[in-house]
């Protein structure tokens, strides 16, 4: 019913969206410093006649579109921050800020959500309920979604459901990817400090060697994945730093190991650190050492609500065609803080393909040569717009 109107409106704003995305891309801002980006977003939302709130969770912005009739409230979300890395693309809109780059596509996320706001603000009479456009800071680390939730962004009006999307270079441009249930992992961090007794390298018998203890722990940690977890359930435990020692002939008094754990369920997220500490404690004590174990939970796993995925699937089929809907049965072990919204309301997160070999947009996320096929901007805006309307229409008051 809304297909032709939405497609026409999305096509009409394509050039404007490309301009916005390039402006954001050229001036990337890291977590909690998205001042210029937030101003651009807030100003454009105000021009569309939305109720705008700024400085939520430091730099977050929301725009509320109230429909012509009462109903539910759906949240559409984008993130605004960049990565701290140097861009190597040779394009006219490359980063003008040394050591900063939109290498994870948040410039595209912000742009296509602005596009959805442009489209839906012209369809107010068709909306039963409210649409909250949310632009969050700090997805890359500090957790901007959690900050905004703690400041009450899901209240007044009460949000009933949420939808978000991410660029995906591994998927062909023009397609969207959907995953039911667990989609992305909880990207947790750990550190292990092993304390022994230092001494001369020629007299190891008079020491308690923390390097030896650390090596035993390193090897044993992998048995949690290989022997304690069902092999059909994905989980990752990686030690990424192993630091200790100061000279070739000195056994140090301590070493430190740092790494990451990726899990796809809340249950596994509790099981793995508990098992880690049992192994660390047993090995350390058996060798006469002591330890400190710190486990820092980052984002929860992204676990999609089936009904919300169905909404996005239907919207994608209407806007892009059934052939352009990809169902992914294998979850990603990357993390995403959209999961904080999913802990509060039913949420659907999907990916927007941007892989195009002819345009050179197949480099992975967090790559200094990452870029997108800009044709996806109005397409994503159209899918988000239709998904919001479908949800509100299916859940409108009788």
Q: What is the CATH number of the domain that holds 72?
A: 3.40.630.10
**Is residue 216 located within the same domain as residue 226?**
yes
- If asked whether residues 160 and 11 sit together in one domain, one would say yes
Tell me whether residue 299 is one of the annotated catalytic residues: yes
Contact 191, 244 (CB under 8 A): no
**Do both 175 and 221 map to the same domain?**
no
**Does residue 82 have a cis bond before it (omega within 30 degrees)?**
no
Q: Distance (Å, rounded) from C-alpha 264 to C-alpha 300?
A: 9
Q: Is 104 annotated as a binding residue?
A: yes
Q: Residue written as tokens 């722990």?
A: 217
Are 38 and 19 part of one and the same domain? Answer: yes
**Number of residues assigned to the chain:** 398
Asked if 17 and 142 sit in the same domain, the reply is yes
Q: Is 25 annotated as a binding residue?
A: no
N- to C-terminal Cα separation, the chain: 20
Q: Which residues of the chain have pLDDT under 70?
A: 1
Number of domains composing the chain = 2
Name the DSSP class of 232: T
Q: Which structure tokens are listed for 62? A: 């929301």
200 known ligand binder: no
CA atoms 198, 201, 207, 209: torsion sign:
positive
Q: Which domain holds residue 132?
A: 3-184+301-394
Tokens of 119: 């489209």
CA distance 267 to 114: 37
Is 166 marked within a binding site?
yes
- Mind listing the pLDDT tens digit for each residue in 146-165? 999 999 999 999 999 999 99
DSSP state of 363: P
Distance CA(354)–CA(333), nearest Å, equals: 20
Task: Indicate which residue of 27, 291, 299, 340 is catalytic.
Answer: 299
Active site residue 369: no
Residue 326 marked ligand-binding: no
CATH number at residue 263: 3.30.70.360
The catalytic position among 29, 87, 139, 374 is 374
Please identify which residue in the block is written with the tokens 């800071």. 137
Co-location of 166 and 66 in the same domain: yes
pLDDT score at 1: 66
């Amino acid at each position: 019913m809304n297909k032709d109107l939405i497609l026409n409106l999305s096509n009409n704003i394509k050039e404007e969206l490309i301009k916005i995305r390039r402006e954001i891309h050229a001036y990337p801002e890291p977590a909690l410093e998205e001042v210029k980006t937030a101003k651009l977003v807030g100003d454009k939302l105000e021009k569309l006649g939305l109720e705008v709130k700024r400085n939520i969770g430091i730099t977050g912005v929301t725009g509320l579109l109230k429909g012509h009739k009462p109903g539910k409230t759906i949240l559409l979300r984008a993130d605004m921050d960049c990565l701290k890395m140097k861009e190597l693309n040779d394009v006219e809109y490359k980063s003008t800020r040394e050591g900063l780059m939109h290498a994870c596509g948040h410039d595209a996320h912000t742009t296509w959500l602005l596009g959805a706001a442009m489209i839906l603000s012209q369809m107010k009479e068709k909306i039963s309920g409210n649409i909250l456009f949310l632009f969050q800071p700090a997805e890359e680390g500090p957790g901007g979604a959690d900050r905004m939730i703690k400041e009450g962004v899901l209240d007044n009006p009460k949000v009933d459901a949420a939808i978000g999307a991410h660029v995906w270079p591994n998927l062909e441009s023009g397609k969207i990817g959907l995953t039911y249930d667990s989609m992305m992992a909880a990207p947790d961090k750990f550190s292990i400090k092993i304390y022994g007794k230092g001494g001369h390298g020629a007299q190891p018998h008079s020491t308690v060697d923390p390097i030896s203890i650390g090596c035993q722990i390193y090897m044993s940690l992998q048995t949690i994945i290989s022997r304690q977890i069902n092999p059909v359930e994905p989980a990752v435990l990686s030690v990424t730093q192993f630091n200790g020692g100061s000279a070739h002939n000195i056994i140090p008094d301590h070493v430190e190991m740092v790494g990451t754990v990726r899990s796809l369920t809340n249950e596994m997220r509790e099981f793995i650190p508990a098992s880690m500490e049992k192994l660390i404690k047993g090995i350390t004590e058996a060798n006469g050492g002591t330890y400190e174990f710190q486990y820092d939970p980052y984002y929860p796993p992204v676990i999609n609500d089936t009904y919300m995925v169905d909404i996005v699937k239907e919207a994608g089929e209407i806007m892009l065609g059934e052939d352009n809907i990809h169902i992914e049965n294998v979850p990603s072990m990357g993390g995403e803080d959209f999961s904080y919204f999913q802990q509060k309301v039913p949420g659907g997160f999907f990916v927007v393909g941007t892989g195009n070999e002819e345009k050179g947009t197949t480099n992975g996320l967090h790559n200094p040569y990452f870029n997108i096929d800009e044709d996806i901007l109005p397409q994503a805006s159209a899918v988000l717009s239709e998904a919001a309307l479908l949800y509100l229409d299916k859940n409108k008051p009788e």
